[in-house]
Amino acid sequence: MSYPYQIRSMEEYEKAYKDSISHPDKFWSSVAEHFRWKKKWNRVLEWNFKEPRVRWFDGAKLNITENCIDRHLEKLGDKPAIIWEPNNPEERVRVVTYNRLHKRVCQFAQVLKNNGVKKGDRVCIYMGMVPELAYAILGCARIGAIHSVIFGGFSAQSIADRLYDAEAEYIVTSDGAYRGGKDIPLKSVIDDALIGNRTVKKVIVYTRTRTPVSMLKGRDVWWEDEMEYAETQVEKEGIVSFPAEEMDAEDPLFILYTSGSTGKPKGVVHSSAGYMVWTTYSFVNVFQYNPGDIHFCTADIGWITGHSYIIYGPLSAGATSVMFEGIPTWPDAGRFWDIVDKHKVNILYTAPTAIRSLMGFGLGPLKGKDLSSLKILGTVGEPINEEAWHWYDENVGKKKCPVVDTWWQTETGGILISNLAGVTPARPSWATLPMPGVQPVLVDENGKEVTQKDEHGLLNGNLCIKAPWPSIIRTTYGDHDRCRQNYFAAYPNLYFTGDGAWKDDKGNFRITGRVDDVLNVSGHRIGTAEVENAINMHTGVVESAVVGYPHDVKGQGIYAYVVYGHIHGDEEMTRRDILQTVTRVIGAIAKPDKIQFVKGLPKTRSGKIMRRILRKIAEGETSNLGDTTALLDPGVVEEIKQGKL
Ligand code: WTA
């Protein structure tokens, strides 16, 4: 398989970009025609950002799994689709060919059907990084069920909230998951999430760790038994064929929950056709994928990066995707390099936080590892500092591999701003140029396009996008107005990203980070309001304010100022109790790094917390706090400064 839409030079990029803006219909038709459709579209694009309403390839019929699997079988049937590297390096690697993937996905689709799952039903998936997770995701897509994958680090309470929000009736999980030296008891977390739940009908449990689990008769079934039964049912000539459900272009493919600046996480909904076209197109172009290359994205499939660049994008391109169960530092900090060496990885796509954490171990873990297979390196999830960029470039890429800095979001479905490896120029810590079809614009607080350069000769503003690309968010599940308010109401006729950015004369973008109350901790998005709500649930807490502060490895750390009524025991114990409450309510990923007990929070006369001041103090700035005259009680600031951790 080659890719007729692959951009091979700067000139081709410029032409593609121009064509995509001046004739979007023609441009995207010519890309989309290289996919497998059950019926072609009537119209390429119809949209307004007011409602918002965005429809790509309207009238078309397809099933994304036919594009990710069936269409490759003839030529690539025996080629690896997924190479699975287990947590324990001593355990056997599993190579899943396209033929095998087809068989397993069809089999699992049959299992879902046998258990009553129908098109449009929501299936929550809570598993570790095992090939069965891919079968579960694609099995859902095969029968047209909407999957909602939940990252293994979320607590029972978070799962319960997501089950409720998505009105999910089915769960796929496993007894446990291996991550480094730990076993995570997934099924028992699910059991806690299901206490009092009356909507979930079936829980399918895959056996991975064989930790003892409770299995409720009538509700809980074993994956292995169900798969075996499905195999006897529909096996034909060695291959199980389960017909791919015919989906409308705009039928929802999945829900993925993500944090925003207010309230509870939102269920971002992506559609079938647009998401497929964009993840494939961006995968091939950003990473300059060539048939036969081994692609290793280190993300967890519980996040959008794993959805788009371990599963859907690579598989739709007929690529070989490495899936890693473990963590970068176990059994030692050379694990990524061992995997690159062992599987002859050509493309490595990881997060700045992982790079910074590995930098901390020095060059020792890289010694003796053959990284010569590497051709392209990528980063995603947060701004990459220049030091980490250069370390990656020099010590991993040996200065021979283009580094792509890919900016995008859960809501964008795929990469929107990035250099194209070796094709358009890289620049340390700059995401650089927009992909064809993407029209970024920087605006000021009033939504006016920024035209005045700042003291560095750059434009600086809030990053918005002017028109839809195929994988733009379609809605937030169950509450369309929330989608409008969050992304399309801040500035009329623009999609607002929540990020700030700089732009230079050549049209390059540098993302500066979130401008709203969303933190980016180790590349994970966490809303400050969510963490505050969790802390406030702890007994004795009167109120709290959470801000981010620069953290050497995580990018941002979580700093919580807590007003406490009565300290139970000592302060240190109370801190640990609060962390336990946050872990229960959200999950360990949201635990504050620092908790400072304070008598009061800096508030304006109208009662608004002045976070700007708290942010500065957390960052270590104590003298230049800006205007504090609006404060009700300036005295609290002094006290907070004194007590800074
Ligand atoms: C941040 C992850 C700078 C940004 C794919 C965005 C980045 C948020 C980059 C989305 C990058 C992502 N440079 N910042 N290359 N990539 N971000 O939804 O703040 O988990 O809004 O999607 O991560 O995080 P999300």
Q: What is the pLDDT of residue 350?
A: 98
User: Is there a contact between 96 and 130 (Cβ–Cβ < 8 Å)?
Assistant: no
* CA-to-CA dists, residue 253 to 191, 220, 272, 346, angstroms: 26, 25, 5, 29
Residue 282 near ligand 1, beta carbon < 6 Å: no
pLDDT per position as a tens digit, 446-483: 999 999 999 999 999 999 999 999 999 999 999 999 99
CA torsion 617-621-622-624 (nearest 10°) is -120
**Residue 50 exposed, middle or buried by CB count within 10 Å (0-12, 13-18, 19+):** exposed
* Angstrom distance (rounded) from CA 189 to CA 206: 14
Q: What is the pLDDT of residue 276?
A: 98
pLDDT per position as a tens digit, 398-408: 999 999 999 99
pLDDT per position as a tens digit, 282-338: 999 999 999 999 999 999 999 999 999 999 999 999 999 999 999 999 999 999 999
Mutate to test the pocket of ligand 1, among 283, 355, 409, 415 (most ligand atoms within 8 A of CB): 409
Residue nearest to atom 7 of ligand 1 (CA): 382
Three-class SS state of 252: strand
Residue 406 near ligand 1, beta carbon < 6 Å: yes
Residue nearest to atom 1 of ligand 1 (CA): 382
Instruction: Tally the C-alpha atoms within 13 A of residue 338's C-alpha that lie toward its C-beta.
Output: 19
Residue nearest to atom 14 of ligand 1 (CA): 382
Q: Which percentage of the chain shows pLDDT scores above 90?
A: 91
Q: What is the pLDDT of residue 599?
A: 93
Strands 247-248 and 61-62, sheet pairing: antiparallel
* Angstrom distance (rounded) from CA 280 to CA 272: 12
Q: Nearest CA to 320 among 298, 343, 351?
A: 343
Residue 258 near ligand 1, beta carbon < 6 Å: yes
- pTM, whole model, 2 decimals? 0.96
DSSP 481-499: HHHIIIIISSSTT-EEEEE
Q: Which atom belonging to ligand 1 lies closest to the Cα atom of 383? A: 3
Residue 407 near ligand 1, beta carbon < 6 Å: yes
Q: What is the pLDDT of residue 274?
A: 98
Cα 328 to ligand 1 centre (Å): 20
User: Is there a contact between 353 and 385 (Cβ–Cβ < 8 Å)?
Assistant: no
Query: Cis link prior to 52 (omega < 30° from 0)?
Result: yes
* Angstrom distance (rounded) from CA 551 to CA 452: 32
Residue 382 near ligand 1, beta carbon < 6 Å: yes
pLDDT per position as a tens digit, 578-589: 999 999 999 999
CATH number of 519-642: 3.30.300.30
Q: What is the pLDDT of residue 235?
A: 60
DSSP H or E segment with residue 315? helix 313-316
Mutate to test the pocket of ligand 1, among 259, 497, 520, 522 (most ligand atoms within 8 A of CB): 520
Bridge partners of 135, per DSSP, are none
Q: What is the pLDDT of residue 477?
A: 98
42 sits in the region (left: phi over 0; alpha: psi -120 to 50; else beta) called alpha
Mutate to test the pocket of ligand 1, among 304, 408, 512 (most ligand atoms within 8 A of CB): 408
Residue 266 near ligand 1, beta carbon < 6 Å: no
Q: Which atom belonging to ligand 1 lies closest to the Cα atom of 303? A: 20
Residues 6+ positions from 439 with CB-CB distance below 8 Å: 21, 465, 466, 467
Composition of the chain by helix, strand, coil, percent to 5: 30, 25, 40
Residue 325 near ligand 1, beta carbon < 6 Å: no
* CA-to-CA dists, residue 199 to 202, 217, 243, angstroms: 9, 16, 28
Residue 388 near ligand 1, beta carbon < 6 Å: no
Cα 331 to ligand 1 centre (Å): 29
Topology of domain 66-245 in CATH is Rossmann fold (3.40.50)
pLDDT per position as a tens digit, 225-256: 999 999 888 665 555 578 999 999 999 999 99
Bridge partners of 514, per DSSP, are 499
* pLDDT, averaged in runs of 10, over the chain (645 residues): 91 98 98 98 98 98 98 98 98 98 96 97 98 98 98 96 97 98 97 96 98 97 96 65 94 95 89 98 98 98 98 98 98 98 98 97 98 98 96 98 98 98 97 98 96 96 98 98 97 97 97 94 93 95 96 96 88 95 96 96 90 93 80 88 87
Q: What is the pLDDT of residue 234?
A: 65
User: Is there a contact between 102 and 135 (Cβ–Cβ < 8 Å)?
Assistant: no
User: Is there a contact between 598 and 561 (Cβ–Cβ < 8 Å)?
Assistant: yes
- Residue type, position 245, single letter: E
Cα 172 to ligand 1 centre (Å): 28
Cα 380 to ligand 1 centre (Å): 7
Q: What is the pLDDT of residue 625?
A: 80
Cα 511 to ligand 1 centre (Å): 9
Domains 66-245 and 519-642 agree in fold: no
Residues 6+ positions from 358 with CB-CB distance below 8 Å: 328, 329, 333, 336, 365
Q: Which atom belonging to ligand 1 lies closest to the Cα atom of 406? A: 15
Residue 415 near ligand 1, beta carbon < 6 Å: no
* Angstrom distance (rounded) from CA 590 to CA 560: 11
Q: Nearest CA to 20 among 437, 415, 435, 418?
A: 437
Domain ranges of the chain: 66-245, 519-642
Residue with tokens 């025996």: 78
Residue 304 near ligand 1, beta carbon < 6 Å: yes
Residue 380 near ligand 1, beta carbon < 6 Å: yes
Residue 260 near ligand 1, beta carbon < 6 Å: no
Residues 6+ positions from 35 with CB-CB distance below 8 Å: 62, 67, 276, 277, 280, 316
507 sits in the region (left: phi over 0; alpha: psi -120 to 50; else beta) called left
* Angstrom distance (rounded) from CA 50 to CA 53: 7
Residues 6+ positions from 446 with CB-CB distance below 8 Å: none
